[in-house]
Structures are given as structure tokens and as C-alpha cells.
A and B are shown apart, each in its own frame.
Chain A
Amino acid sequence: MTETQTVINKHKIPSVQPVINDFSLTVGTENGSGSQTSNLTILRALFKMGLPVSGKNIFPSNIQGLPTWYTIRVNKNGFLARIEEQDIVIAMNPASFAQDISAVTSGGSFFYADDIKLNISRQDIAVYPMPVKRLSRESDAPANLRSYVANMVYVGVLAQNLGIDLDTLYQALDFHFKSRPKPIDLNFNVIKAAFDWAAQNLEKTDPYRVEPMESTGEYIMTDGNTAAALGSIYGGIQFVSWYPITPASSLPEALNQYLPILRKDPVQPKKNTYAVVQAEDELAAIGMAIGAGWAGLRSMTSTSGPGISLMAEYSGLANFAEIPVVIWNIQRAGPSTGLPTRTAQNDLIFTYFLGHGDTQNIILLPGSINECFEFGWKSFDIAESQQTIVFVLSDLDFGMNQWMARPFEFPDQPMDRGKVLWEEDLEKLKGDWGRYRDVDGDSIPYRTVPGNRHPSAAYFARGTGHTEDAVYSEDSEEWKKLLARLKQKHDNARHILPEPVIERTQGAEIGIIGFGSTEPAIQEARHNLADRGKKSDFLRVRAVPFSPQVEKFLEEHPRTYVVEINRDGQMKQLLTLEYPHLALNLKSAAYFDGMPLTANRIEETILSQEVK
């Protein structure tokens, strides 16, 4: 204990003005040590205290042993993007200790497990050792659970230091352990003991504090993959086939979790009105999904970059044979296996053109957790009404991290099943129909599905050239007509896809275009840029092919920055292709480092180009 006391005194920093509800904290632990429960408990407790908060897991591709970090940002103004500076760091892992201590901002605070006997060289931060081993040994946890409850020590110490309400920590544990008293009490007792120990032994010398707010009462907290799964269920999903891949696996796993709850069949309660199939690979996953879509089911699969590569072949068939199916791509950093546990927005070009030959696909770009839910159901309406493959591009940051979100809303439109002919329809038509005839002049034909017993219902689907009546054909004129109609169908879709979200500011000098998970960083950057005299308008793209509003926005903004997480400025490239006459209005603000984008990075990228 004397040693501990000395350390504290040596690192006492001058008292400063308290900083309330505005900091970023990082916990460095060893992967597989069970720290996720502790980190989520802190995150949820802060949320329950009414503070705007976000949490991001920066984890390795590993089950156990490698360093892993969890960052939490609290911001009373609601800016919740990742920031580079870490005000508070908790070091539980000797392997990342040196890196962790150097990450603390000057004047920040550093907590560490006191069994790590490493040199603490910094004088400009508050340093708090924690008797992690002793407190977990003294807990009533059985030996095999001690290393897990050890992580609750930093929860208790931090709670005491920051002023996190113990009741909210209890609520967070109650949620996590689904109200099972045994694990809740076991963990809570450790938190409590650590809290009490800190109260008696640590003198607070850093400025960071939390105080209850009323900013989160209307909100829920969840992740994008859960939202996507739930949205799909409200879209009446009937079939999903999938193959395990980070960061997409938790989407079908959430389907497995929620389908039995939400889809109890009123007619035959013991039967399933859906099928979830774990396939042997992504080739089969998309094949099954396309088979089900062809046969009339609301069908989807979910994957990430490497899986999309494998799906290229079947994707082209779905586009060409006009089969409704939804593909969720939870993007991670590529090329190749790349950084499997890091986020990116780098499959835009690949998915838009996925398939050999002249292929263009519809892409939806959810920009919030609520849109992950909304596009979950809407994507089926679009796929079925347009009779095509629809890609929904989420990313690891959305998919696997906890976000504050507005409560989910029930779909505001009935399902759109598209142009499907059943027996009675064919009876009325006296059997006179053709699978690929453009009857309505909108380039979208009518279809029948297997199981339709009308003698003229059947047709032979194929990836080969075909006539309007689905007969094999190598005729040049037929081929040209077919590809022209597919192009027209794709082009028309821009008018029915989700419109962009546009925010205008009086006196805006520049335009900013973004999409997906980067909006929090963009909004913070816009706020900061405005403070520095650079006002901006903002357009968030929600679908490709682009709405005519995108062109209008570009015309209005001779300097439009395209913010995206990739190297090559893929959104900017797509915009350039679509609007070559406006190409000079486009400037790239692309950045990639595997991490969620920060406002600082966007500001720097934009300002460096504005000066020129």
C-alpha cells in the first residue's frame, strides 16, 4: 500500500476546472478476457444516466490473447463520433501498457492494474493504480471466474472517480445477464468493493466528471446488425442463408434470436413461416437465397467483402434473370482478407458493378441505426418491386458497435410484393403472358413462381440469353433489346429509391456529401468548420443509382467534398461517372485507417484543400 500511495502523490497534477460530461475514455485489455461485459456495463450505465454516449470496440482478429480496446465517448452536446484524443485510459494489459499510457491527453487520467510493474514516465497526467488481483481474489467468485470479475474492478474504480451512479450500473448488469441474480450479484459486488476501495484510497486529481442529464430518455441502445435483422423481420423475411464472417455473423444470429419471438404463426403456432440456413460457403449462401427469391420468398443473405467476392457469379445471374434478393454487406477493410475487424466503406464500386458483363446493381446506404432497421424491411419491397438484387451496404462500425437510436418504428407502408401472377391472374389472362414482356412500359415484367399450378405458369429461368417469353435465344436483336431494358429498369429505379437527406445552412460556402456511418463525424466537423468561418451544406446519399437531387446539389456547390472511408474515393468516382459535366465540382475527402472517421480528420482534409 505504501508503494501505491507514493505513486499517487508523485503524479498529482494541479487541480483544474472540472470537465463535466465531455470526454473520451479507452480501456485496453487482453482479447478474450471477458472485458466486453465490463465495457458495455459502463456504456449502458452512462446512457441510463441520460448522457449522450457512444461505444466502439477496437478488437483484433483473434479469440484470445491479443490486445483489444474499447472506447467510450460522452458528449453533452451529442457529438458522438470517435475522437483521436483519449482523456481517460484504463490499462489492464501489460502488452499494450506503453501504448496505452502514451495515448492519454495531457491533463488526462490513467488507471492501471497494479500487478503490471512497468515504468510510468509521464508527469502530466493523473495516475491511479487499481488492486485488481487482490479485489478479485477477495470476491466470492470461484477461481475459474476470477479473471472475468477482475474486469469489474475498473468499472467500480471508474464509477467512483467519475461519479457514475451505482444504480445505473446495476441496471446495466441486470440487462446483460437477463435478470439472473447470481451473475449480477457476483459482478456487482466486485464493482461495489472496488468503488469503496477507490473512495478510501484514491485522491481524485483529474477534472473529468459525469452528472445526470435528460438527453437519452427517448432513445434505445443497440447495434446495426440487430437493427437490420429486426427490420428484415418487419419486412416479412422468409428465407436467409448465410456463412459465418466477421463483421456480418451477428445479423443472421439476431434473426435466429428474434424470429421465434416475433413470428409466432397465428395459424400453425408450432411451424416456422421462415427458414434460416447456415450454408457451406458464400457461393451456396447466395445460391440458396436466389433460389428462394426466384420461388417467391422474401429472401436475403448477409456477408462482408470476401463473401461478396464469392457471390459475384450468382449476383450477376440474379441481376440478369431478374430475381429479387437482398444482400447485406457489413463492410470491413479490404482488399483480400485485409483487416477483418476494422471498418471501411470500400465495397461501393465492387457491389455497384458486381457481375461480369454490363451489370449495375441497386445499392442502399443506411446512415443510422434506425435506417438499418428501415432498410431492413424496405429492401424487400425494392427487390420485389424491381425484380432485382439489392445490396445494402452497412459497415463494421454500425454492425457491431452499440449506438443510441430512436425507438424502431413500424413500417409505414404495406408490403410491396411486386408483379407476381398467381393462378387466378393467369386464368384472367387466358394463359397469355411472357416472363420478360414489358407489358406496362416501365421495363419491369411480370413473373410467376414455382408452385403456381396453372398449366401456363411455368417458364424456364436461365442465365443465358432469352426472348421475352424466356426461351433460349442467341439472336442479336433480342439480346440488345434485353440489355437495353435492364439498363432502363436500373435507371428508373433512382426515382423510387430512398431520397438523399439534405441539410442547408445560410451562407454555406461548400458542399459535403457523405453516406453510411460517417454522419456523426461529418456533423461535428460541420459544426467546427462553421465555428472557423467555413459553413457547409450537407447531402447524405441513401441509394445508388443517384436521385436527381444529387445532381442538383452538385450543381449548386462548385466545391463539394465527398467524405468516405476508403483510399480511392469510391463515391466520388461513382458521382464522376454519373455526372461527368460536374466532375470538377467534386473534391475527395476520403480517408482510411480502419477506424471510424473522426471530425478532426474531415476538417483537416477539407481545410487543406480550401487553402489552395
Chain B
Amino acid sequence: MTNTTTTRKTKVNLIGLSKADYRGNPTSLCKGCGHNSISSQIIAACYELDLVPENIVKFSGIGCSSKSPTYFLSRSFGFNSLHGRMPSLATGALLADHSVKGLAVSGDGDTASIGMGQFKHVIRRNLSLVYIVENNGVYGLTKGQFSATAEAGLSLKAQGTNPYMPIDIAWEALVGNATFVARSFAGDPKQVKEIIKAAIHHDGIAVVDIISPCVTFNNTDESSHSYAWGREHEVALHELSYVPPAEEILVEYLAGEATEVTMHDGSKVVLKKLEQEFDPKDRSAAMRILEEANAKGWLLTGLIYISPDQPSMADIYRLPDTPLNRLTEDRLRPPRDSIEKINNLMF
């Protein structure tokens, strides 16, 4: 909680902050947990984006994943709320100061089971919030029960075999009209970082479903949430890089080799083509590719869908330039003489 102190050797970003200024407390999660890798990429993304930590507010629900916001950005406000109920709390908080950016971390239990309702509704409202789901298919903190994203047929030592079909978080986001849907893999840190950068610069809900292996309870080679499975089955839609508004795109691409998506603030996401043609602005194409990925057993990663210019919740509410939480009595309490007018409106 102190101001930036930089020694000669410490590297700083454009606003003079070192990476340490974006860190948090030491993690209390297991060694090798995918969530720790994601926390590191959040730190790296914010550092590289030159973000002022005070301009970010962190949110989480309950679970291993939801503990992680204390492991990054300790200069940012945060709220470790209730199980499955983080989206509502974030909604109220972010309307209080619409100049801050919300960054939420949830898990597959927190989102796809107890929190499915609030997840779908925060999407519907297009709240300007990065919504990361650290998805590992199990409840870690309660010692390894199946979650709703666990694949049918998955066998776990103490649990037996899961008989139910999984919930696909990216699908749910897409059919819920999310304006930004991405999937990534904790074992692909470079992609995680670039997707988080793009998500932060999306003015609306940005759902980022990250397969994040639980090394303690669900990391056998045949589990679709394991490191081994991910490495073997990851199919990236594109090679993705985020380019801030002021920067020029330095790498030259051949015609047809890459596409660009312009964000609402003028920044760009450059998508370098890999195996196949894919336009992330095409919603039905996004649905088709998700269906194909599920049928073929791919871990499909990348920016699945984006609609950068939809009005965010703050736009819809037409909030004044001064954040609501800085308004004082003169703008909040109606004038004294209005009371007579109101009494006259009654019978």
C-alpha cells in the first residue's frame, strides 16, 4: 500500500510502476495450480497495459479461484463476495464509479452451478466487467467433488464416475448475448495474457473461460481439464495480440494472413490466421465452431466472439461525468421549494 519506489535496476512501465506494484499477497493455492498462472498473467497484462491499479476494482465469489484476487493488484479495491453472487455485487459497485474497470474472477462451481442465474444476467446487462472463469471441473476447496463443467464419464478417485453432460461456459455466454467471449488455457500463458488485455479494453461484459487445471483433484491425463489433455487437444483459433490505441501495428502481415478487430476505444486486436478462416464478429460462426470443437474433442481457444460497440450498462443508465459516488448533497437532495410542489401532486 505504499507509493511506487523504483531503484535504478527495477524496470518500470510508462506510468512509472514496476511489476511489483501490480502484485498481491503470496498465493495460498496449491503448487502448480492453473489459477496461479492466470494471476501472473493478470499482473503482466496490467503492467504491460500501463494501467493505474486504482482504476481497477476486483470481484470474486467463493472457491479456490475466488481467493486469487488477493494474489494480484493489491493497490486495487476488491470484494470477495458470496458464492455465486459476485455479479450482482459487481453491478451495484461499478455503477457507483463508471470510470473504474471491473475485473472478476470466478470458478466453474461459482459460475456454472450456484451462480448460473447471476452469470447469465450480468451478461444480459453488458456490465463493463472482465469475467474470468478459472475452470477446472472440480470443487477444490471442498476436496474434489465434480462441478457442472466436468465431462460425462470422468472418473475421480473419491467421487466415482460423473454421469452428466457438462455445461459449456463459452456456449452459455454466447447464447446469453455476451459481447465478448473467449476461451483460453492456463498452460498457454501468452494467449491468456493477450486475451486478458483485450478483455480489459472491451467496454462491456468480457467472458473469459480459462481451463485451469486442478493439480490436486483433477489432473489425470484423460481428464479434459488437465494440463496433459490441454497440451494435446488445444486448437487455437488464431494467434492473438492486443495493440493499445496509440501504438502502431509493427509486425507486417501478408494479405489475408491476419484480421483486425477495432475496439470501442480505438485499440486493436490482431488475429493472425492459423489453420482456418474465422471471423469472431460472426455469432453463428462462433456457435458452429464451438459445436465442432465439442464434437471433435478439441480444447478450442482464442477470441470466439466479439461485438465491440454495444452500449454498456453504464451507457444505458446515462450516468453523469462525475462518478455517482462523488456527488454531494447539492446534486442529490431536491431543492427545498420542491417539497410544496410534491405535496400539491398528492391528492
Contacts and interface: CB of A to CB of B under 8 A. Distances in A.
A450 interface: yes
Contact of A458 (B76, B333, B336): B76
Residue among B52, B327, B332 facing the most chain A CB atoms (10 A cut-off) = B332
Contacts of B346: 220-222, 226, 405
Given A234-B334, A451-B326, A292 B80 contact: no
Interface stretch (B83-91, B149-157, B261-269, B281-289): B83-91
Interface string B217-251: 00000000000000000000000000000000000
A270 B93 contact: no
Interface stretch (B161-169, B178-186, B191-199, B316-324): B316-324
B85 A458 contact: no
Given A272-B317, A460-B79, A450 B57 contact: yes
Interface stretch (A154-162, A296-304, A478-486, A496-504): A296-304
Nearest to B330: A266
Interface stretch (A3-11, A105-113, A235-243, A545-553): A235-243
Interface string A276-315: 0101110111111111111111110000000000000110
A217 interface: no
A267 B2 contact: no
A332 to B, nearest CB: 24
A297 B327 CA distance: 9
Contacts of B90: 291
Nearest to B74: A458
Contacts of A268: 320-321
B80 A451 contact: no
B334 A265 contact: no
Given A455-B75, A457-B77, A450 B92 contact: no
Interface in A191-216: none
Nearest to A411: B333
Given A280-B117, A280-B121, A287 B85 contact: yes
Interface string A224-262: 001000100111111101000000000000000010001
Contacts of B97: 295-296, 449-451
B216 interface: no
A273 B331 contact: yes
Given A455-B54, A458-B78, A291 B92 contact: yes
Given A288-B88, A451-B323, A410 B339 contact: yes
B88 A294 contact: no
A99 interface: no
Contacts of B324: 238-239, 273-275, 296-297
B212 interface: no
A239 B70 contact: no
Nearest to B92: A291
Contacts of B338: 262
A75 interface: no
A451 B99 contact: yes
Contacts of A288: 88-89, 91-92
B1 A431 contact: yes
Contacts of A14: none
A3 B52 CA distance: 87
Given A222-B346, A272-B317, A283-B118, A462 B80 contact: yes
Contacts of B117: 280-281, 283-284
B91 A236 contact: no
Nearest to B80: A462
Contact of B118 (A262, A284, A450, A464): A284
Contacts of A230: 342
A408 interface: yes
B116 to A, nearest CB: 11
Given A271-B318, A299-B92, A408-B339, A262 B80 contact: no
Contacts of A458: 1, 53-54, 74-78
Contacts of A258: 342
B258 interface: no
Contacts of B52: 453
B79 A461 contact: yes
A47 B347 contact: yes
Interface in B300-347: 317-327, 329-334, 336, 338-339, 342-343, 346-347
Nearest to A281: B117
Contacts of A241: 88, 91-92
B1 A291 contact: no
B49 to A, nearest CB: 17
A163 interface: no
Interface residues of A, number: 81
B302 to A, nearest CB: 30
Interface string A405-422: 101111100110000000
Size category of the binding interface on chain B:
35 or more
A415 B80 contact: no
A450 B77 contact: yes
B293 interface: no
A177 interface: no
Interface string B87-118: 11111111111011000000000000000011
B37 interface: no
Interface string B107-149: 0000000000110010000000000000000000000000000
A472 B24 CA distance: 13
Nearest to B124: A280
A239 B91 CA distance: 11
Nearest to B97: A451
Contacts of A411: 333
Given A241-B92, A272-B318, A408-B342, A455 B2 contact: yes
B54 A291 contact: no
Given A408-B339, A460-B70, A462-B80, A235 B333 contact: yes
A409 B320 contact: no
Residue among B52, B81, B94 facing the most chain A CB atoms (10 A cut-off) = B81
B173 to A, nearest CB: 16
B82 A287 contact: yes
A242 to B, nearest CB: 12
Given A415-B332, A460-B78, A462-B79, A313 B347 contact: no
Contacts of A146: none
A297 B88 contact: no
Interface string B45-86: 000000011110110000000000110001111111110010
A448 B330 CA distance: 21
Given A409-B339, A460-B70, A414 B329 contact: yes
A576 interface: no
Contacts of B77: 448-450, 452, 457-461
Contacts of B322: 267
B96 A455 contact: no
A172 B94 CA distance: 44
A455 B1 CA distance: 6
A415 B96 CA distance: 18
B159 interface: no
B276 interface: no
Given A273-B327, A284-B88, A408-B339, A451 B100 contact: yes
Residue among A281, A294, A449, A451 facing the most chain B CB atoms (10 A cut-off) = A451
Given A222-B347, A275-B319, A458-B77, A297 B325 contact: yes
20 contacts: A221-B347, A236-B333, A238-B325, A263-B334, A272-B317, A279-B121, A284-B87, A287-B81, A288-B88, A288-B91, A291-B91, A294-B89, A405-B346, A408-B339, A408-B343, A415-B329, A431-B1, A450-B325, A451-B96, A461-B78
Given A262-B338, A457-B54, 15 more contacts: A258-B342, A268-B321, A272-B319, A273-B331, A280-B117, A280-B118, A283-B85, A284-B118, A288-B91, A290-B89, A291-B93, A448-B77, A455-B75, A458-B74, A460-B58
Kindly list the 4 A-B residue pairs having the minimum CB-CB distance in the complex, ordered from nearest.
A287-B88, A291-B92, A236-B332, A295-B96
